[in-house]
Amino acid sequence: MLGCGIVGSAVARILDAHSDEISERVGARLEIRRVAVRNVGKERDVPLSADIFTNDAASVVSDPSIQIVIEVMGGIEPTRTLLIEAMRSGKHVVSANKELIGSLGRELFDEAEANKVEFSFEASVAGGVPIVRPLKESLAGERVERIMGILNGTTNYILTKMAEDGMEFDQALAQAERLGYSELDPTADIEGFDPAAKLSILATIAFNARVVAGDVYREGITHVTQADILNAHSLGYAVKLLAIAESVDGEIAMRVHPAMIPLTHPLASVRDNLNAIFIEGNEVGELMFYGRGAGGSPTAISVIGDVADVARHIVGGGRGVGVIYSQPAKVRPMDSTVSQYYILLEVADKPGVLAKVAQTFADNDVSIKSMLQEGLGKEARLILVTHNAVERNFQALLAELRTLEVVDAIASSMRVQSAED
Ligand SMILES: NC(=O)c1ccc[n+]([C@@H]2O[C@H](COP(=O)([O-])OP(=O)(O)OC[C@H]3O[C@@H](n4cnc5c(N)ncnc54)[C@H](OP(=O)(O)O)[C@@H]3O)[C@@H](O)[C@H]2O)c1
């Protein structure tokens, strides 16, 4: 095992506590032979003898008595080099590292293929929620059309607190930090880098395509306000940070951004720091996977599931399904994607404003589904929701609205993910 922190120590504890059941299911006993950590002298509450710890990770991946390397140390380097070394010495690899797989997964998938070893990474997406194996195996006969996920617990917690306790973004982030839900540097969560990495991993498997985190259009939640959440509710929506991957006309569209979703949609009821993945398939219809996206024990359960699977193959022969690429990744540019939109406009309260605004929408080929006026005088605001429109047209509309004399400001805008499409 490389790393023995939050996830690694839970792996060690559960492998020890559930040892008999696991060996019955696998047909062999699993033993943690060696553990690489940074600081060998650190006090650790794990059922492992002190003499198996080392700070020489390279010696673990080259140890001929080891068949499976569990990577729970995180980071890009030296992790990447160690995993490639492990595969080249014939070892199977199980990893929880979304950052590494989201950016350099292709290299590792190819290396696993070249060395005829398994590379499993269930824990890298949505922690304890089984989604990689269901996509790869249970849905092998399906053509997935769309994946929509809430893939980051911290941001879902923040949005839940904003919606339920009336907090503003900064207050909710501070509370997530106090509770230890967010990383020391919350950027990867609140700016959407973390869910973008996870979405690229899911899209790689669902669409058999070589996509990486950098292919995902990304917007975080820092600009979401209490007013957006209240307006969303009064229109019948919840605000969620959605990670969406879809196959459109042979291209793959991937995006992470805050979106309004109908309160009746199953994803709208995913609260606090929980994760969920909603899948739409041609034949199977709709599926949802829901649970703990982080935390030592849930993540360790996914890691151990992978280890058990690999071990079963070692015992019984055969090899798990690798990562297949049947399509070169044609990534659909964000400006070609289609969505509904919400806009909050601060407008002059005088005759002719509505007509002028409506004409600007029509000129940009964006049609209005609903329009509501609130307030009077300087407080006058228009809340608009559009029908499906092309992103490029919507951006052109925003640019033109900013130039209108009757529009004081575009107070807010957000995509709306509803059943219209
Ligand atoms: N925590 C979660 O809820 C969660 C959920 C899903 C996926 N993951 C992923 O799981 C991985 C591990 O996360 P974690 O939360 O368990 O991290 P963590 O608590 O920081 O533990 C990291 C472990 O790796 C060791 N380590 C780091 N760099 C090393 C190096 N260069 N050589 C040897 N050992 C090294 C550390 O050693 P010391 O103990 O000596 O410092 C520590 O034991 C990450 O990829 C993370 O993204 C975590």
Ligand 1, atom 17: nearest CA belongs to which residue?
5
- For the stretch 39-89, pLDDT in tens is 999 999 999 999 999 999 999 999 999 999 999 999 999 999 999 999 999
328 in a domain, yes or no? no
Helix axes 98-114, 79-88, angle to 10 degrees: 20
In a domain, residue 80? The reply is yes
204-218 pLDDT tens trace: 999 999 899 999 999
Q: Which residues line ligand 1 (CB under 6 A)?
A: 3-8, 36-39, 42, 57, 72-74, 78, 96-98, 123, 127, 294-295, 299
pLDDT at 320: 82
261 plus 311 within the same structural domain: no
Q: What's the domain count of the chain?
A: 3
**What is the DSSP annotation of 247-281?**
EETTEEEEEEEEEEEETTSGGGG--TTEEEEEEEE
Over residues 99-109, the mean pLDDT reads 94
Residues 25 and 162 in one domain: no
How does pLDDT run across 4-19, given as a tens digit for each residue? 999 999 999 999 999 9
Provide the pLDDT for residue 356. 95
Q: Does position 421 have pLDDT exceeding 70, yes or no?
A: no
Q: Is 324 a domain residue?
A: no
pTM, to two decimals:
0.96
CATH number, domain with residue 37: 3.40.50.720
Contact of 156 with 272, CB cutoff 8 Å: yes
Position 319 scores a pLDDT of 84
Boundary (domain end) residue, out of 316, 349, 372: 316
**How much is the pLDDT for 182?**
79
Instruction: Say what the pLDDT of residue 326 is.
Output: 66
118 CA distance to ligand 1 centroid (A)? 21
How far apart are the CA of 417 and the centre of ligand 1, in A?
35
pLDDT tens-digit map of 345-389: 999 888 889 999 999 999 999 999 999 988 888 888 999 999 999
Examine residue 323 and state whether it is found in any structural domain, yes or no.
no
151 lies in the same domain as 273 = yes
Taking CA atoms only, the protein residue closest to ligand 1 atom 21 is: 5
Task: Average the pLDDT over 236-253 and give the result.
Answer: 96
Q: What is the DSSP string of 106-153?
A: HHHHHHHHHTT--EE-GGGTTTTS--HHIIIIITTT--EEEEEEE--H
Q: Are residues 24 and 50 in the same domain?
A: yes
**Does residue 327 sit within a domain?**
no
Indicate if 277 and 340 belong to the same structural domain. Answer: no
Same domain, 208 and 109: no
From the CA of 75, give the closest atom in ligand 1: 45
Q: From CA 202, how far away is CA 252, in angstroms rounded?
A: 12
**pLDDT over threshold 90, residue 96:** yes
Q: State the pLDDT at residue 420.
A: 65
pLDDT of the residue at 327: 62
> 333 versus 351: which is more confidently predicted?
333
Q: Does 199 have pLDDT greater than 90?
A: yes
145 and 280 inside one domain: yes
Look up the CATH number of the domain holding residue 207: 3.30.360.10
Compare 185 and 52 and report the one with higher pLDDT: 52
- 407, β-bridge pairs: 347
Same-domain check for residues 199 and 286: yes
Q: Which residue type does 407 have?
A: V
In ligand 1, the atom with minimum distance to the C-alpha of 38 is: 40
Q: What is the mean pLDDT of the chain?
A: 95
Strands 389-390 and 92-95: unpaired
Identify whether 284 is part of a domain.
Answer: yes
Instruction: Judge whether residue 328 has pLDDT over 80.
Output: no
What pLDDT score does 103 carry? 94
Candidate from 128-132, 261-265, 345-349, 390-394 with smallest mean pLDDT: 345-349
H or E segment at 415? strand 407-416
Tell me: pLDDT of 38 over 70: yes
Q: Is residue 183 pLDDT above 90, yes or no?
A: no
Q: Which of 116, 198, 350, 369 is catalytic?
A: 198
CA of 102 to the centre of ligand 1 (A): 17
Q: Would you state the pLDDT for residue 350?
A: 85
Same structural domain, 178 and 252: yes
Q: What is the pLDDT of residue 419?
A: 75
State yes or no: is 161 an active-site residue. no
Q: In this structure, are 234 and 152 located in the same domain? A: yes
Atom of ligand 1 nearest to the CA of 71: 11
Nearest 5°: CA angle at 215, between 279 and 69? 75
Q: Domain of 367: which CATH number?
A: 3.30.70.260
Share of the chain above pLDDT 70, in %: 99
Structural tokens at position 420: 């219209």
Shared domain check, 174 and 121 = no
CB 335 within 8 A of CB 395: yes
Are 221 and 342 in a shared domain? Answer: no
Within 10 A of 307 (CB to CB), how many other CB atoms are there?
23
Ligand 1 geometric centre to CA of 93 (Å): 16
Residue pointed to by tokens 């979405």: 199
How high is the pLDDT of residue 329?
Answer: 78
For 259-268, what is the mean pLDDT?
97
**Residue range of the domain that includes 186:** 141-292
